[in-house]
Amino acid sequence: MEVILKEDVNKLGHRGDVVKVADGYGRNYLLPGKLAIEATAANKAVIEQMKGSAIRKSAKEKTEAEGLSTQLNEIELVFERKVGEHEHLFGSVTSGDIAHQLEEKGFKIDRRKISLEEPLKTIGEYHVPVKLHREVTSHIKVTVKGDQPEAETVAAE
């Protein structure tokens, strides 16, 4: 199945590209998610007009992403989770958790743009990359702390 991408899709292509994908991937993910449209003759004619506006839109998005990137580089998020032996967390910190806490601070960022290889499962300080635009990547400082109040009170005495 051939589709025309309406948005950038990781490991597939950029907005405006005509790509060949498996039927199920196109029907079940790309089309319902409004990430692509079916590549018919009429849509291919429309896409040529869309490419010109996409270039202008991409330039505008890049400048907005650069501004947002400078704001995000200064943000530090702190998560408290229950901790087991060897500072291993019972509940991990996922990209959804990071996106939720960013939204509480006033930044609307899709969790899919947060490039977390795997959920954070140990205590520590991490620098998590956020891909705001294909050419702009920001880094957020994420600190994961243990939730052990009795250990802290013993250490404080």
Q: What span, in angstroms and rounded, lies between the C-alpha atoms of 145 and 83?
A: 9
Query: Domains in the chain, ordered, with CATH?
Result: 2-63 (3.40.5.10), 70-156 (3.10.430.100)
User: What pLDDT does 149 receive?
Assistant: 54
Task: Tell me the three state secondary structure of residue 100.
Answer: helix
- Distance from C-alpha of 129 to C-alpha of 120, rounded to nearest angstrom: 13
State the pLDDT at residue 22: 92
Q: What proportion of the chain, given as a percentage, has pLDDT over 70?
A: 94
Nearest CA-CA partner of 42 in 4, 13, 15, 7 = 4
Span 74-104, pLDDT tens digits: 888 888 888 887 777 888 888 889 989 988 9
Q: Specify the residue for token string 């200064």.
A: 74
Rounded CA-CA distance 22/43 in Å is: 19
Tell me what pLDDT residue 150 has.
Answer: 47
Residue 9 is classified by DSSP as: B
